[in-house]
Amino acid sequence: MAEKYTPTPLEAQRIKMQPDMLKVSGDGVFFSIQGEGRSLGLPSVFLRLHFCNLRCSWCDTKYTWDKNSPEFWQESQDWTIDRAKAEITRFPARRLIVTGGEPLLQQRKIVNLLQQMPDWEVEIETSGTIAPLPELQERVQFNVSPKLDNSGNPRVVRLKPQVLRALNELPLTSFKFVVQDPSDFAEIHRIVQDCGLDQSKIIIMPEGSTQEDIRRHGLMVVEDVKLQGWRLMPRLHIDLWGHQRGI
């Protein structure tokens, strides 16, 4: 178990959410390519927000939510909407990917930001546990990653069927399941069936933060993916740069 970090009084104060300001992670904004999902390979500007409502054991951005991590307390930033827009629009791409953490914890502020960026393509990466506001449903591509038992989260916390059903009705949604071995497929089938998810929207992504882990997990499940007619997709940014922040 990780050693518990005790924040200073100043750190405990500055982690609090501020009205009309986005709580941004230490990664802030960075310009890269989309490494996962249906927009794989497209040049994109990323905005990484702080906080999450889940606690995935294999999460590679624990610094956005893990209170045992000094980075959680020390790196967060409070940005005005104008500051966020200025940081995002200094890059040549016109595709914004809002990630986290769980971005929809701050979705009203995301709406306010996007109102100032009407000509941008926008993706939000979410666990599918929080229903998006109508203003986002009308515009955003949702990259939904429903969490399986392998994440270590209790089912009642990580699985919200009514939210997944609503997201399934939106045309640009995809559902990415992170898998470690073939035993995960029984749970995926139950979720797909119980929530009536569109089979053409299902993406399987091998879990891993190294090329070796992704390849090993991918080889374990590729035959099952072929039989189901789903899509097996890599983590392109890991192939290119390995496990690095802000890439």
Residue 244's pLDDT is 85
Q: Is residue 148 part of a domain?
A: yes
Q: For position 1, what pLDDT does the model report?
A: 52
Assigned domain for 154 exists:
yes
Least Cα distance to 235 among 222, 50, 213 occurs for 213
Q: What is the DSSP string of 124-190?
A: EEE-S-SPPPHHHHTTPEEEE----GGG---HHHH--HHHHHHHHTSTT-EEEEEESSTTHHHHHHH
Residue 2 falls within a domain, yes or no?
Answer: no
The number of folded domains in the chain is 1
6 in a domain, yes or no? no
What does the pLDDT read at residue 247? 81
Q: Is 12 contained in some domain?
A: no
For residues 22 and 113, the answer to whether their CB atoms sit within 8 Å is yes
Residue 4 inside a domain? The answer is no
Q: What is the CATH number of the domain that holds 43?
A: 3.20.20.70
What is the structure's pLDDT at 238? 87
What are the tens digits of pLDDT across the range 157-189?
999 999 999 999 999 999 999 999 899 999 999
Instruction: At 247, list the tokens.
Output: 């890439």
Does residue 96 lie within any of the structural domains?
Answer: yes
Calculated CA dihedral for residues 77, 104, 64, 58, nearest 10 degrees: -160
Give the pTM.
0.94
The residue segments making up the domain with residue 62 are 20-241
**What parts of the chain have a pLDDT lower than 70?**
1-2
* Model pLDDT, residue 2: 58
Evaluate whether residue 13 is within a structural domain: no
